[in-house]
Structure 1
């Protein structure tokens, strides 16, 4: 027992000695080490004097949505679905054996009087005047037989096409109404990369949908309009990451105030739906095209008359030019505006009216804002020195006058289509005696009363052979009341289609 008590006493005594030593050495205190002249924060942010930081709106994008939604419409375009209906895998229904045709609902046949089925596409548009003018995309309304416009308040109208411009993918429509809500144009030149924007449209027929994002780039070219607009196509898109999907085409891209800065036109996607970026035609181009179509029926394009190519390091090295950017002129057309101004092959265009144009897209956009007869100042580099050239732009006919739409005879015009004489080779290949081809279809008797689609070859009117467009005109002028039309489609010339119209 005494031995046990001795052990406890020694243990307690050892503990007290240890605590006393720790206290003597200061181990029981909590101390903060301070280093002289050390900043309280190890991370510093650079601030540019006078820079205004614009945060995301605290109320979201309510103002932009409230101001723009009433002026954005839903467009329903009825277009031919294709001969005899649609079947999978691109199979031609007329090539199917009869034993298999029932698997696909017996498409493609059913009598000479069978009309083409229609399919309905969906897009958007923007009201730009209170009396019913609407801008949209050309690809939304192209080849449409009927166009139905549904307003934000669900009122529905039939629209007519005033004009289209495939080179910018812009179309102008008209509905018969007054007192409509409109959107105001903003200057797309003032839009800055990184600025907040709002897209308004009808994706997947989800009417009046609003999405937001930022401007990702300006002056972007993706070679999509060139497919329909050809060499005169203008692509200088505003690129944004606001979500845009099929059905948004023709809708509005607006700033935080709800003012129009572009018309949503395309998306960059491997799947056909939104995958990160969308593209809008700048409002400066939209406004000019819409004004031209409303005033003249066709777009007035001021042309320079030169073949151009965008410079880069590799191309500059190939040309032995000490410059890595700009627009290189490799050919000047005879009698063109460029030649008359003194611009030569080998010049490098760097500005139009003081606006730097170091890319093809920017140059074409600046020129596309002008009409024939307009005077612009082109700045170009030659032999290492910049010089200015005063250029008077010309039209596609080589003059400075206004281009007028070609007038069609009244009887042919009433059909609402463009016709073209068949060539001798077409007549021989299709084994026809003659005929005229429908090259374009717009508003008129054919689209209103039949299912004729572009490509149709009209061979007879009221049983009488049609040789050319002039004879078609004479036959129509002499016909009253009901008129029968016969013809074929070039992909199946052995099958005759019959239609009837009432004049």
Structure 2
């Protein structure tokens, strides 16, 4: 039930005199109550608890019963989730269930079920679970269209803060497209609906009862809600969940370029009306971009007819495009517009390094990085200068802190103010700093034509 509430003051501002014209300002009242909506949606929101087994050396004698009692599963985390299919498909955050040996899901009516993992995506912090309940039909909700959510729209968060299941909080969309440095695909909805520990993985609903976001993170100096929460938008989450259900993993598009933001100075030199587009700093040999004719210094203005204003726009657009798609690029080369066609490869097989991947000859691994000398093969693979010096990053573990600051093809020139000339020496330096618990170390990095300092957790 909705009620329009317009005060005399609001009515007075609904028409603003500006010269001889008036601008109509639409007004929408607050709901009289959120009770009906909350009552309808809560049965599909679940509490999630996980446990990890605590190992130990076997003992005998009088201590054996104590070890049996205390070395079983231990509760590791509490979180939230929501059911999207009557057959028991649950969506939550990956960090809620990461490394869990057992997962238990509790419904609002008190029923508890075990769950197994169908798939996870660490880059967007999304996990999909399957309730172990053959033949049981569950209440479910569905994803809405987060692209239609506007700043100022009402939203409802339902979840399990501090283990208090079925908690309903209300707020508005405070901002869109937030980048909080959580990953490569940051595009968060910001909300002032109270989100606390335990809300992770829970749904953010619009006023039609559709899920427009997955509550994932908060900004807080106290650990509690201060009215700044962040949710993965449903536009992104729906695509990830669909791939996890179909393949058990994500399959993102890959172009094979390193890109930088457009600067106001360069935009003026190129005759652009404003800073927009992604500037290509390097092109990976043999990549879709290279095969499609993309060159360093090209400016990508649109991808598959989607405007590219920032680097993030291009990164997300490419990732969301199915592997094998032939995409159209609108570029600017030497101030002349051009159209190119590129057939996308798969990001997961060309960029990410898994912890158990075999190391190439002469390579070392440290701090989530695979490091190699700039051999002719490495130089050719990453399109580096023939006289490059330093240590080349040839792979990055996507789960490591290094993934936030470095990418394959980067060249580390210095580690902690010391020149980096050999992969093993750089790895030893990082290991020593890690053992000293000295915190982040400053590194000097070359990426294409750019050279910059960055902080790396050793």
- Answering whether residue 81 of structure 2 is matched by residue 125 of structure 1, we say yes
Q: Where does residue 349 of structure 1 map in the other structure?
A: 300
What residue number does 1:166 align with? Answer: 122
Instruction: Show the counterpart of 1:279.
Output: 230
* 1-structure distance, mates of 2:171, 2:293: 45
Offset at residue 422 of structure 1 (A): 12
1:44 positional shift: 8.4
Say whether 1:134 aligns with 2:90. yes
1:184 aligns with 2:157: no
1:305 corresponding residue in structure 2: 256
Determine the C-alpha separation between the residues in 2 that align with 1:388 and 1:54: 44
* Residue number in structure 2 paired with 1:75: 48
CA displacement at 1:151 relative to structure 2: 0.8
Matches of 1:356 and 1:283 in 2, distance apart?
21
Partner of 2:38 in structure 1? 65
Aligned residues of 1:285 and 1:368 also touching (Cα < 8 A): no
Does the 8 A contact of 1:80 with 1:119 survive in 2? no
* 1:206 and 2:190 aligned: no
Q: State the alpha-carbon separation in 2 of the partners of residues 273 and 81 from structure 1.
A: 29
Residue among 133, 139, 154 paired with 1:196: 154
Contact 1:64/1:198, CA 8 A, preserved across alignment: no
User: Are 2:46 and 1:46 equivalent residues in the alignment?
Assistant: no
Give the secondary-structure state (helix, strand or coil) at the position aligned to 1:343: coil
Gapped runs of 5+ residues in structure 1?
A: 1-40, 85-109, 227-232, 407-417, 424-438, 440-490, 492-503
In the TM superposition, what whole-angstrom CA distance separates every residue of 1:253-289 from its partner, at most 9, and x where no partner exists? Answer: 1111110111111111222222231111111221111
Distance change >3 Å, CA 46–CA 269, structure 1 → 2: same
C-alpha deviation, 1:132, in angstroms: 0.7
Give secondary structure in 1 for the equivalent of 2:254. coil
Counterpart Cα distance in 1 of 2:104 and 2:12: 62
String of CA shifts for 1:414-472, please: whole Å, max 9, x gaps.
xxxx978999xxxxxxxxxxxxxxx9xxxxxxxxxxxxxxxxxxxxxxxxxxxxxxxxx
TM-score by length of 2: 0.64
Q: Which has the higher contact order (CA 8 A, sep 6+)?
A: 1
5+ residue gaps, structure 2: 1-10, 58-65, 361-396, 398-434, 436-458
Residue 242 of structure 1 aligns with which residue? Answer: 193
RMSD: 3.7
205 and 113 in structure 1: CA distance in 2 versus 1, 3 angstrom threshold: closer
1:54 to partner: Cα distance = 2.0
Q: Does 1:364 align with 2:315?
A: yes
Q: 1:257 to 1:310 in 2, by over 3 A?
A: same
Which aligned pairs between 1:93-492 and structure 2 lie closer than 5 A?
115=71, 118-177=74-133, 178-224=136-182, 226=183, 233-313=184-264, 323-396=274-347
Q: Which has the higher strand share?
A: 2
Is the alpha carbon distance of 1:196 and 1:350 closer, same or farther for their aligned partners in structure 2, counting shifts above 3 Å? farther
> Structure 1's 359 and 419: CA in aligned 2 closer, same or farther, altered over 3 A?
closer
Structure 1-normalised TM-score?
Answer: 0.59
Cα offset, 1:372, TM superposition? 0.8
Give the 3-state SS of the residue equivalent to 1:290 in structure 2: helix
Paired residue secondary structure (2:95): helix
Does the 8 Å CA contact 1:220/1:361 hold for their aligned counterparts? no
